[in-house]
Amino acid sequence: MAAIASLNCKSKASPANTPGAFATDPCFFSRGAHTYRVPLGLHADNRAALLERLKDHAPGVCLFVGGDAHERNDTDHEELFRQESYFQYLFGVAEPGWFGTVALPSGKATLFAPELGPEYAVWMGKIATREELGKRYGVEVKWTSALAAHCATFDVTYAPRGVNSDSGNGIHERLPPPADVPNLSDDLSVPNALFLAACEARVFKSADEAALLRYASWVTSNAHVDVMRVVKPEMYEYELEAEFLYRCARDGGCRNCAYTSICACGPNAAVLHYGHAGAPNARRLESGDLALLDMGAEYHCYCSDITCTMPVDGAFTPAQKIVYEGVLEAQRAVYKIMRPGCSWTDCHLAAEREILKSLVTLGVLRGDLDAMVAAELGGVFLPCGLGHFIGVDCHDVGGYLPDHPPRSSRPGLRKLRTARVLDVGMMLTVEPGCYFIDALLDPALENPETAAFFDADRLAQFRGSGGVRLEDVILITADGLENYTTCPRTVAEVEGVMAGGAWPPATDAAPDLNRKWAKFENGGLVDVAL
């Protein structure tokens, strides 16, 4: 930390950016003058957050393994590299094959880069020296050949051991320390203290991280609006994906996206993670379809995740409007209670109730609302969780850790990616939805406890229609929340933009959504009052 502080990376005024990965001032990451300047001091702050959670830990050195480059199958085609997320969080290194250490208790950070011979310059351009790399990242850089000797100067080398609760993958299995690293801790606990500290540090965003995530969501919101303007029948889903990717790259400097785009139109909107290799955003849009577009940009490996739903024809039908407004009311219900001290489980249940209400209005369901909730009918139409942590990963870490609420076994709730109590600095997505999924509707109709709530004939009219999802990126603040998604949300806003109306609007027609309006200025975002 002392090394990066000596560069004044948090406070030094940056000159105008030049094209490339880094601005003229190496204390900032940028993709050019029209893109966000990321103060690389945020990674020193992240290391400090980790160190604070390890202040009572035994002395030694913490070793983190960066991501490696991979070829496609048996070819020499190298796939586009994206840094391992813990490594990115702590060091912000763009290249593959690196290692990083943080000493305990001093916090001194050291990076280890692969030493590339002069022959690589033919293929990769000028090869940076250790001094140049150190200046770029604000941390002392050694070659990877020095890693074992460096670790040998400490009594113990600690490496994170733990399992991601979303994927089930263990970081200690996917990215183990090199075999020649000495003095590895004999504590084989899963999770171990280093893993838990790193997870918990990532849950709470610093001001610089929140600003960076806001930029990713600003770029994503603008790109969604651009796509909304071009949607029409007879297009193909992949055209919408292409428009989004183009806008994020051209206007925001976002080479990567946070995940595979979900461009689910018509019946495909009922496939929660549509867009995979077996269903590659390839359907033609038809008149009468809803287009559910779940797409997010990534900048400096920090993610956004936003979903918009719109009528392909430019105007909602009466039935589509009921479902859409029910999902929007679910967001509103969540935002009324979403603040420090509120349980994420309670937020999900509040969203469920609003969606069930809209289905009663639609005529698909009938009966007492409380009885529907007790019968766990919400999980039929909202089978996924309300949202998730977001940060250096789209589905960010920290959802289920010791000393926090465990995963529920209840339908709907068991798919929540966390059940934690909200606190200041957390960032989450809020993504209620209403889906008509045959694989869930059929068992509900066969179950006497739930079948009585359905009007089967009315329900049949909506089978195959897909569904609606709305997703925003939210920061929890001391007095509530800030919504970094600035897309059209009300029916009038969506239809107005699709008809060519201006965006952002002159006035905010839905202030209860807490949208944090912004404009880009001098390498950053500036608040705008509507």
**Residue 502, phi then psi, degrees to nearest 5:** -70, 150
List pLDDT tens digits, range 276-313. Answer: 999 999 999 999 999 999 999 999 999 999 999 999 99
> Which has the higher per-residue pLDDT, 412 or 475?
475
Percent helix, percent strand, percent coil in the chain, to nearest 5: 35, 20, 45
| pLDDT tens digits for range 349-374 | 999 999 999 999 999 999 999 999 99
pLDDT at 22: 42
Q: Which two tokens stand for residue 235?
A: 């297009």
- What is the structure's pLDDT at 95? 98
CB burial class (10 A; 0-12, 13-18, 19+) of residue 402?
A: exposed
Summary mean pLDDT of the chain: 95
What per-residue confidence (pLDDT) applies to 26? 62
Given pLDDT bands bounded at 50, 70 and 90, which one contains residue 25? low
Among the listed residues 154, 149, 159, 153, the one whose alpha carbon sits nearest the alpha carbon of residue 185: 159
- pLDDT class of 16 with cuts at 50, 70, 90: very low
Q: What number of other Cβ atoms are within 10 A of residue 374's Cβ?
A: 10
Report the pLDDT value the prediction gives residue 412, as an integer from 0 to 100: 85
pLDDT tens by residue, 50-97? 999 999 999 999 999 999 999 999 999 999 999 999 999 999 999 999
Full DSSP string of 177-237: PPTT--SB-----SS-HHHHHHHHHHHB--HHHHHHHHHHHHHHHHHHHHHHHH--TT-BH
Is residue 18 scored above 50 in pLDDT? no
Residues in CB range of 435: below 8 A, 6 or more apart: 269, 270, 272, 381, 382, 383, 466, 467, 468, 469
- Say what the pLDDT of residue 27 is: 86
Between 308 and 18, whose confidence is greater? 308
Q: What is the pLDDT of residue 339?
A: 98
Strand partners, 168: none
Mean pLDDT of the 467-479 span: 99
Task: Please report which confidence band the pLDDT of residue 411 belongs to, taking 50, 70 and 90 as the band edges.
Answer: confident
Calculate what percentage of the chain has a pLDDT beyond 70: 95
pLDDT, tens only, 113-157:
999 999 999 999 999 999 999 999 999 999 999 999 999 999 999
Give me the pLDDT at residue 445, please: 98
**Domains of the chain, with CATH numbers?**
27-201 (3.40.350.10), 207-527 (3.90.230.10)
* pLDDT category of residue 9 using cuts at 50, 70 and 90: very low
Nearest to 131 by CA among 111, 150, 107: 111
Concatenated DSSP letters of 182-195 = -SB-----SS-HHH
Stretch 337-359: mean pLDDT: 99
pLDDT at 5 over 60: no
- Percent of the chain whose pLDDT exceeds 90: 95
Q: In what order do the strands lie in the sheet with 306-311?
A: 262-265, 290-295, 306-311
Digit-coded pLDDT (tens) for 247-277: 999 999 999 999 999 999 999 999 999 999 9
3-state SS class at 465: coil
Tens-digit pLDDT profile for residues 205-254: 999 999 999 999 999 999 999 999 999 999 999 999 999 999 999 999 99
Amino acid at 160: P
Closest among 94, 38, 107 to 66, alpha carbons compared = 94
Closest C-alpha to 398, from 210, 205, 203, 209: 203
The arithmetic mean of pLDDT across residues 161-169, rounded, is: 96
Whether pLDDT at 13 is above 70: no
Q: How far apart are CA 359 and CA 272, in angstroms?
A: 19
